[in-house]
Structure 1
Amino acid sequence: EEWQDIILDRAKSMLERDKNHAAILIWSCGNESCGGKDLYVMSEYFRQADPTRLVHYENIFWDRRYNGTSDMESQMYPTVADIKKFLAEHRDKPFICCEYTHAMGNSIGGMHKYTDLTDEEPLYQGGFIWDFVDQAIWHKDRYGKDALAYGGDFGDRPNDGNFSGDGILFADRKLTTKMQDVKFNYQNFDLDVTAEQVTIHNKSLFTDTASYELHLELMLDGKTIWETTADAPHILPGESGTVSLEDLPLTNAGEETVTASLCLKEDTLWAKRGFEIAFGQGTWHVDEVEVPEPQEAVCATDFVKSARRFHYTPNMELETKPEKPLHIVHGDIDLGVRGTGFEIMFSGASGNLTSYKCNGVELIEEAPKPSFWRAPVDNDYGSRRDFMTAQWKLASLYRRCVKKELLDDAGNWQEFDWFGQLGQKEYEASSISVRFTYELATQPLSSCRMTYTVVPDGSIKVELDYDAVEGLPEIPDFAMIFTMPADYGQVRFYGYGPLDNYADRQRGAKLGIFETQAKDEVEPYLLPQETGNHCGVRWIEVTDHRGRGVRLAMDEEPFEASALPYSAHELENARHAYDLPEVHHTFLRASLGQCGVGGDNTWGAPVLPEYTVKNTAKHFAFYFKGI
């Protein structure tokens, strides 16, 4: 009770100072101060002095003696499952997350679970992302260059390290790639797109969709072939409406995608006309549809129908060549394959693909390698996923080839002792398949198989197989890494972008063809970590300034990919950006899928189970080709 007067004095001073600010919606009794009678008296003062505003206090969660202190149930970092469980038993107050989806480093995975809940549960009123901006201080590194510093960089002990690097903006106020999903999850309009229509759900409280323009874009295999803009239809707040796509000019030629966007009609103080407020996409593959002659569209409803939604058949036809166009040279150590415009070499000594020349230019700097590891993100450290899955870091660093096989004409794998085959054998073939089996440095011991099938146009079908071994943890990533010279730094891909995205953070990404550079795919987190991943990749190209390089293309299913100037191990070893080495390589990665990044909190919350990579048998296939 001796504290009550000073607590009330503080409350009165705050109210008098801020009562005329239009931005103040709710009075707060404080933060992380447990509970008690004094705080309840403060809340009653707010209600008496200003009955027009609500009162908030989170810490009644820890002290229920004065539950009336807060007009709402407020909790920090509950899971969606916990919110549902609480509201199933308590229906007396609205529920908010005064802090949620902790945005430290590469984070905000699973945020859509919370925003989806606001549509399903009327008592759940949303939450506040912690935090808005990274907190770091400019200083000089040992060489006099400007660098952002965090806890411990000033000789301060104890400290919280980079724990204040939890913003959706960086400390210099530049946007993080996390904003791509934040913007989408917070948009007030859902746009569901099929080949027949766009259905718009207006979740706004006051705004009619007629305040915006509706922009429609049709893409074929990622390339825009038709678009139009018109006034959006009148759909009142809380209501839904449709826009017919009766005259959509389908092509019957590949994967087709329609993007529908609501955009500003006029310039505003905060954005120019055309700024996208909300979007939705629909993707399908059209088979055997009669396509009318294309006509110029005159309004937003000039579209056609006749499609199957979300069915995709890859268009990966290889060029037809004469029979047996490949010249095979099988020596006592190496096996060479020559075709028109390319030369490929497999080494029996190292048990791997060691050379791929396209028109005389070597494109492989190091032998490709399987990779089961990613540079841990802050949430991995917080939940100790780095420790729990460390076996897979060893597997990515250390392996030994224990079997080398060739596929014979009868379709059977034959083990081949390359060192025992003295002399040279030359022959022609229409294709050749080589398989290497590696033991991986895990306990218990595990293994994987890498299979390369060379086909006449110079493409190599690459397959990575793993048979699950009981006793090993979940897998951070299941990928192949191709190391190329840093000259190959131009990146172009057909997949989800333009910014990086992950299994649990990809709703804000769009399907399309995007161009970037490997160096720009590295997000400048205070602590370097996993970055630059893209989901839903159909193909990715990494080239030099002359257009020479490598293309990876899907076999049957889209994959995940990245192209970075640093390896996962280099990113993990660095504590600051200035700890990263000089750039010498481009690391091109194709992945069956990596673990989500998580984000419920950064002090123990795991990645949601549906976004982890289980320790089960796996098969990953894609095509590699020089361009």
Structure 2
Amino acid sequence: GLLNELPIGPRAAQTFALPIKTIVKAGKEYFLTLRYLLKTEEPFLEKGYELATEQFVYGGAAAPYQALVQNGDLKVEETADKVVVKGKDFVASFDLKNGLLTSYVLKGEELLAQGPKPAFYRAPTDNDIGAGLNKSLRMWRNVYDEKSTLLTQKVDKSNPKSLTIFFRSSLLNGDAETEQLFTIQADGTIKVDNRLIAVKGKYRALMRVGNDLQLNKQLNAINFYGRGPGENYWDRKTASLIGLYKSKVNDQYFPYARPQESGNKTDVRWVSFTNTKGKGLKFEYAENFLSFSALPYTIEDLDPEAEKKQYHSGELVQRDKIYVHMDLQQLGVQGIDSWGSMPLSEYQIPYKNQQYSYWIKPIK
């Protein structure tokens, strides 16, 4: 709607009737977004320039996805090292030696090449480096690849329409454990339940609680429902309004002078990655809203290492995969200063038990 006149003086209050419909349906969420635009051109500002904006929760709540009873049965091929699950139009392969989903093929095309892999590190920001986190939290970098031991694996084939695969791994010489439960439905939908167990040890904080995934580079089209359109973080998101947004993976990275963490989105209800034919994958929250990023670069590409090596974003070379973070949360990015302070305590992730879940759904 549009309000052409606001006859109200400074420090005054007045009630207005908004020219909008007020239909609220169950299972839906609604927001009221107000924008204050210039009616006439002014010096250096064109007509229609947005001077201010604010968004309010209007009503309702987003209903998380609930799996339905599926038609058709799953076929399972299991060896000592691998489990291959086949259903209508899809094949999902799991490595029983490292506890990872190693491939997801939809109608003959591989869409996912690796993941979801437990991850607790991000490419350090300049503020992270100022606080020394590139050194003090470095033990979490590649922790699942380099400092983990698979403890338990269990495949439950008792339900022909819904198979479960469970992995438990030890990290950092037993200081922590991760658990992942994959529930595969007959239509190709997969629920991913993640859990971090802080067994012992003391660590300053966690940079992330999330998963790393590698997608086919052809899934370049992004659609998401969350905060956007630009990058936003736990402690830097108020100006990013909740809405439906479209973008491309190649447009997600902001070229800071020094390569670093970039492109995150918060309060995400769902995000999809599709190719030019509309085929792809959709990730949808199950309990808590998600944070995600999708870049043509790895964490290692954006990490200046502990010695803070000097290089620039213009030197980055795009990879042949899309590297996705599908997270519960990321550490805040702002400190009181940029040469030693952590983010405010309410935007830190303590080393303690954490858990979250989401769905992976095929888009055919």
Query: TM-score with structure 1 length normalisation?
Result: 0.54
**Secondary structure of residue in 1 paired with 2:277:** coil
Q: Where does residue 587 of structure 1 map in the other structure? A: 323
Equivalent in the alignment of 1:521: 252
**2 CA distance for matches of 1:502 and 1:356?**
30
Of 255, 267, 286, 1:555 maps to 286
Whether the 8 Å CA contact 2:335–2:344 is kept in 1: the answer is: no
SS at match of 2:235: coil
Query: What does residue 449 of structure 1 align with?
Result: 179
- CA distance in 1 between counterparts of 2:187 and 2:300 reads 34
Taking the aligned partners of 2:38 and 2:20, their CA distance within structure 1 comes to 25
Alpha-carbon distance in 2 for matches of 1:550, 1:279: 33
Are residues 1:264 and 2:38 paired?
A: yes
Q: 2:108 aligns with which of 337, 355, 360?
A: 360
Counterpart of 1:497, as a letter, is G
The Cα shift of 1:518 comes to: 1.5
Higher mean Cα deviation, 328-337 or 385-394? 328-337
Any stretches of 5+ residues in structure 1 without a counterpart?
1-227, 287-311, 410-427
**Residue from 184, 209, 224 that aligns with 1:478:** 209
AA aligned opposite 2:33:
T
Once residues 529 and 242 of structure 1 are traced to their aligned partners in structure 2, the CA distance between those partners, rounded to angstroms, is: 47
- Aligned-residue Cα RMSD (Å) equals 2.1
CA distance in 1, matches of 2:98, 2:137: 27
Cα gap change, 1:546 to 1:246, in 2 (>3 Å): closer
Q: Alignment partner of 2:112: what SS?
A: coil
**Judging changes above 3 Å, is the alpha-carbon distance between structure 1 residues 482 and 284 closer, same or farther for their aligned structure 2 residues?**
farther
CA distance in 2, matches of 1:578, 1:460: 38
The aligned amino acid for 1:259 is T
Amino acid paired to 2:236: R
**Residue of structure 1 aligned with 2:4, choices 224, 231, 237:** 231
Which residue of the partner structure matches residue 337 of structure 1?
85
Q: Which amino acid aligns with 2:178?
A: C
Kindly indicate whether the alpha-carbon contact (under 8 Å) linking 1:450 and 1:462 is maintained by their aligned counterparts in 2: yes
Contact 1:379/1:598 (<8 A) preserved: yes
Q: Give the share of equivalent positions with the same residue, in percent.
A: 26
- Greater strand percent: which structure? 2
* 1:363–1:626 CA contact under 8 A, matched in 2: no
Query: Given that residues 319 and 457 in structure 1 are in contact (C-alpha distance below 8 angstroms), is that contact kept between their aligned partners in structure 2?
Result: no
d(CA) in 2 for partners of 1:466, 1:332: 26
Q: Where does residue 395 of structure 1 map in the other structure?
A: 143
Q: How far off is 1:471 after superposition?
A: 1.6
Given candidates 5, 10, 13, the residue that maps to 1:240 is 13
**2:278 counterpart SS class:** coil
CA contact (8 A) 1:485 1:585 kept: yes
Say if 2:234 is the partner of 1:488: no
Asked if structure 1 preserves the Cα contact closer than 8 Å seen for 2:195 and 2:354, the reply is yes
Cα pair distance change 1:396/1:361, threshold 3 Å: same
Seen in structure 2, the aligned counterparts of structure 1 residues 249 and 438 have a Cα distance that, compared at 3 Å, is same
CA shift at 1:445, angstroms? 3.0
**Alpha-carbon distance in 1 for matches of 2:300, 2:145:** 9
> For residue 280 of structure 1, what is the aligned residue in structure 2?
54
Q: 1:482 to 1:232 in 2, by over 3 A?
A: farther
Structure showing greater Rg: 1
In the alignment of these two chains, the number of paired residues is 355
What is the alpha-carbon distance in structure 2 between the residues aligned to residue 484 and residue 385 of structure 1? 28
Structure 2 distance, partners of 1:247, 1:487, is: 40
Structure 2 counterpart of 1:496, one-letter code? R
Q: Aligned to 2:338, what secondary structure does the other structure show?
A: coil
Letter in 2 for 1:376: P
1:516-563 CA-to-partner distances (Å, cap 9, x unmatched) read 112211111110111000110001112222222211111022111111
Q: Give the letter for the 2:53 counterpart.
A: F
3-state SS of 1:363 partner? strand
Q: Taking structure 1 as reference, are residues 396 and 567 closer, same or farther at Cα in structure 2, changes over 3 Å only?
A: farther
Greater RCO between the two (CA within 8 Å, min separation 6)? 2
The answer to whether the 8 Å contact 1:479/1:590 transfers is yes
Matched, 1:321 2:321: no
**Cα contact 2:32–2:58 (8 A) shared by 1:** no
User: Cα offset for 1:245?
Assistant: 4.4
TM-score (norm 2): 0.90
Task: Call closer, same or farther: CA 1:278–1:232 in 2, change over 3 Å.
Answer: farther
Name the SS for the 2:121 alignment partner.
Answer: coil
Query: Which amino acid in the other structure matches residue 271 of structure 1?
Result: L
Distance 2:89 2:166 in 1: 24
Aligned pairs (5 A) from 1:394-473: 394-398=142-146, 399-407=148-156, 409=158, 429-440=160-171, 442=172, 445-468=175-198, 469-473=200-204
Q: Secondary structure at the match of 2:15?
A: strand
Letter in 1 for 2:89: G
CA shift for structure 1 position 346: 1.8
Partners of 2:67 and 2:48 in 1: CA distance = 41
Structure 1 residues 402 and 605, CA, compared in 2 at 3 Å: closer, same or farther?
same
Per-residue deviation, 1:580? 2.1
Moved more, 362-371 or 257-266: 362-371
Q: 1:542, 1:563 within 8 Å by CA — same for their partners in 2?
A: no
Q: Quick one: which of 586, 608, 613 aligns to 2:344?
A: 608
Residue 352 of structure 1 and its aligned partner are, at CA, apart by: 1.8
* Contact 1:232–1:262, Cα closer than 8 Å, also in 2: no
Question: CA 1:583–1:255 in structure 2 vs 1: closer, same or farther (change >3 Å)?
Answer: same
Structure 2 CA distance, aligned partners of 1:383 and 1:352? 33
